[in-house]
Amino acid sequence: MKLAVTIDVEEEGLFSGHYEPGQSSASNVSALTLLDPLFREWGIRPTLLVSYQVAHHQPHHELIMQLCSKWKGEIGAHLHPWNTPPLAANSKGKLVSSETISRQILTAKLKTLIDAVSAMGVVPHSFRMGRFNMGPKMFSILEETQIRVDSSIAPTRRQFGGPAHLLAPADPYFPDPADPSSPGESRILEVPLTIVPLIPKLGASFERLEMAHLLPPSWVSWFFKYLGSIPVQPAWTGLSRLKAGTNLHRRRGGSVVTIFFHSSELMPAGSPHHPTEAHVKGFLDRLSRFFSWLYREMSIESLTLSELYGLYQQGPLSANSEAGENIAS
């Protein structure tokens, strides 16, 4: 199996529900250094998905570039439409769904982000939408750029004010641009978060009940978040569920485990789940134990998002695939 470790490298504000429209604090970026011994021990090649506020603040550039080089990782782009210029006077700092923003403004925001990341000395080929708020409009805009791989789909989840990803596959696929949560013929590879439904196709049944107005959308969202799925996400759950979700994913033919967390979760009080230094250390310990188990039990190989794109260009992977050669840069 393959492992994709993705980190949203972003300013503070996520867990308060409000981002400052000007230059926001991103002091948490320095906490990325805490990952260095862990990543070097297990050969983790992460994808650092950088927001505009971080890319725009030049003092962060050197550290990010140094760590990325040391880890043989990748730097991609992470769009927060609510505080990436151009900003509407009535929406500054507010969390808004991408599907409610005009195509012209959304395109301009993406250009602002890509220009800022490019100023760091890299051309981003990987992307993630803030709050996993990926819909047809945003995906169609991505297709007009140099982006090769997206990681904005969270299976079994419904995003605020917009796209539902209840039926999305848990393994990488080339999407339908009209519905990025479904397989199709896009040139962009979708690498979704690994969130595994407990029962295959359960989402389709719930979606039919919801469309028939037999179940409220809020109930369906709650069910899948807390009962109907196992998130293979170390920032969300414990080691036993991480193992159970990975085993279930593999038994169903899954070939890639994709995890994510935020740079702010490495800073005490940067997340409500990690209010103290002890909580951050506990998270890092959980990551270490999970990586140890993956390498011991799954013979896993860590790749960046663009490296996964190179493999999928050659054809679908299998859970037992050992293909690691000829990876595109």
Residues 263-317 have pLDDT tens digits of: 999 999 988 889 999 999 999 999 999 999 999 999 999 999 999 999 999 888 8
Fold (topology level) of 2-313: TIM Barrel (3.20.20)
CA distances (Å), origin 149, targets 57, 135, 153, 197, 316 = 25, 15, 12, 23, 15
The type of residue at 190 is E
| Entry pTM | 0.92
CB of 132 closer than 8 Å to CB of 169: no
The token duo for 139 is 């995906």
In the chain, domain spans: 2-313
Q: What would the DSSP string read from start to end of 62-76?
A: HHHHHHHHHHT-EEE
Instruction: Give the three-state DSSP class for 300.
Output: coil
Residues 221-274 have pLDDT tens digits of: 778 888 889 999 999 999 999 999 999 999 999 999 999 999 999 999 988 889
Residues 112-168 have pLDDT tens digits of: 999 999 999 999 999 999 999 999 999 999 999 999 999 999 999 886 666 788 889
Site of tokens 């900003």: 87
DSSP run (H or E) holding 148:
none
